[in-house]
């Protein structure tokens, strides 16, 4: 028998997150999505095809976009940097690109519902209402460094460092209950 000893940064907040949906009439939902596999990829342009073949997903070349293959997503973070979410990575990457497993570094808070953008607008300088489908951005939310990852029609994942997760969750709960 295998015992899972992992402890999520926000594991004790499920009830508080659930109360948000009731308070907002279902217009807003919060939930933690813990233990996402997250691989930070650094690659030169000439190694993108090899990285994509190994990872099982094409790495986007357009800034702040996301590509998907099945349950694997690749988020553009910079001209030579991506975050691949949702799968076990290869043991050793081929020449020309590097990979670091950063899964334990962050947790994900999922904000969904028609009021998701309105909630995040209280603490984020980006105009999230103007962003199209399958987007991502590194930004500040309530003074915490985050990666925002939006999926149509109204779901936004907030990837936040574990050390800031409790602070950001408290801010989101406070802002949600004030709506």
In a domain, residue 160? The reply is yes
Q: Are residues 71 and 118 in the same domain?
A: no
In a domain, residue 156? The reply is yes
In a domain, residue 163? The reply is yes
In a domain, residue 5? The reply is no
pLDDT at position 4 is: 77
130 falls in which pLDDT band (50, 70, 90)? confident
pTM of the complete model? 0.92
Domain count along the chain: 2
The pLDDT tens digits for 135-161 are 999 999 999 999 999 987 889 999 999
Kindly provide the b/e burial profile for residues 45-80, where b requires at least 16 CB atoms within 10 angstroms of the residue's own CB: eebbeebbebbbbebbeeebebbeeeebbbbbbeee
The pLDDT tens digits for 19-64 are 999 999 999 999 999 999 999 999 988 899 989 988 999 999 999 9
Q: Would the pLDDT of 128 be above 90?
A: no
The pLDDT tens digits for 57-104 are 999 999 999 999 999 999 999 999 999 999 666 666 767 889 999 999
pLDDT at position 95 is: 75
- 158-168 average pLDDT score: 97
Q: Are residues 84 and 56 in the same domain?
A: yes
Domain housing 75: 38-101
């Amino acid at each position: 028998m295998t015992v899972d000893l992992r402890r999520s940064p926000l594991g004790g907040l499920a009830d508080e997150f659930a109360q948000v949906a009731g308070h907002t009439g279902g217009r807003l939902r919060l939930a933690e999505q813990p233990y996402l596999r997250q691989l930070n990829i650094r690659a030169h342009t000439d190694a993108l095809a090899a990285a994509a073949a190994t990872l099982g997903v094409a790495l986007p070349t357009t800034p702040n976009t996301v590509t998907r293959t099945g349950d694997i997503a690749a988020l553009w973070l910079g001209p030579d940097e991506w975050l691949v979410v949702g799968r076990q990575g290869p043991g050793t990457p081929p020449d020309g690109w590097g990979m670091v497993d950063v899964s334990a570094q962050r947790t994900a808070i999922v904000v969904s519902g028609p009021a998701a953008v309105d909630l995040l607008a209280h603490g984020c300088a980006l105009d999230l209402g103007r962003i199209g489908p399958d987007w991502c951005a590194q930004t500040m939310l309530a003074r915490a460094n985050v990666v925002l990852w939006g999926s149509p029609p109204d779901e936004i994942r907030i990837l936040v460092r574990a050390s800031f997760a409790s602070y950001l969750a408290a801010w989101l709960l406070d802002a949600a209950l004030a709506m």
